[in-house]
Amino acid sequence: MKSGRLLQLLASVAAGDVDEQISVAEMLYRGWSPDDPYSQHIYNTAMILCADHELNVSSFAARVVASAGSTPYVVINAGLSALQGVRHGGYTEHTEAFLKEIGAADKAEEVIAARMRRGETTTVPGFGHTLYPDGDPRAKILLDKLKAHYADSPEIVLAQAVERAVLKMLGEHPTIDFALAMIGRLYDLPHGSTLGLFALGRMVGWIGHAIEQYEDGQLIRPRARYV
């Protein structure tokens, strides 16, 4: 299975840069943010943090498809189909829209208060991961790196204001979606790029799950009770 070749192929589509001699992170840096070398490190870190996360929706879907004996290409397609859902990786786009709605650091509490009045406090995009009540460690790693390197950026000022406001008003912490959305804003990436970054990282996990499932040789076939 030429899984590395498959990853390189999809990365070249995302970045618009075809060079099999360089890493995926460097490919993204060249295609997305060639004026900022540090972005390569950020992309690499983000993909590592997104690579696997237990049996999340897309990884489970990929594993089920692999258990049927499907090719790696079909397995990846299954993972991508699940990942783009708005309750999974597609949530990054909602987070980007939320940050765009706020726009400026001094508007953070105002926008969140308006959401509270509309009864939308349970769905503040980019905050409150159900598995991490004390904060998503993946988000912390990425955000700490971004804040340290781009401390004076208006986007970092915005991020910190939003974090403070959400914690104060709702008691929630940032998720990986928020960190990815901030990457998109810092590097002024085209719409959909952060989901692409998420997908490229998670793809490694899907391939790993597929390899395990191929070796196991068992079909994943849950039973159902008719009622």
List 136, 173, 177, 209, catalytic entry = 177
Q: How far apart are CA 213 and CA 220, in angstroms?
A: 9
Closest-CA residue to 199 (of 67, 55, 43, 20): 43
Q: Is 129 annotated in the active site?
A: yes
Radius of gyration of the chain (CA): 19
Q: Is 177 annotated in the active site?
A: yes
Q: Are 176 and 140 in contact (CB under 8 A)?
A: no
What region does 2 belong to: left with phi over 0, alpha with psi -120 to 50, or beta?
beta
Closest-CA residue to 164 (of 118, 102, 216, 208): 102
Closest-CA residue to 47 (of 7, 106, 95, 5): 7
Beta-carbon contacts of 227 under 8 Å, excluding residues fewer than 6 positions away, are: none
Beta-carbon contacts of 208 under 8 Å, excluding residues fewer than 6 positions away, are: 52
List 129, 136, 173, 209, catalytic entry = 129
Q: Are 58 and 82 in contact (CB under 8 A)?
A: yes
Q: Which residues are catalytic?
A: 129, 177
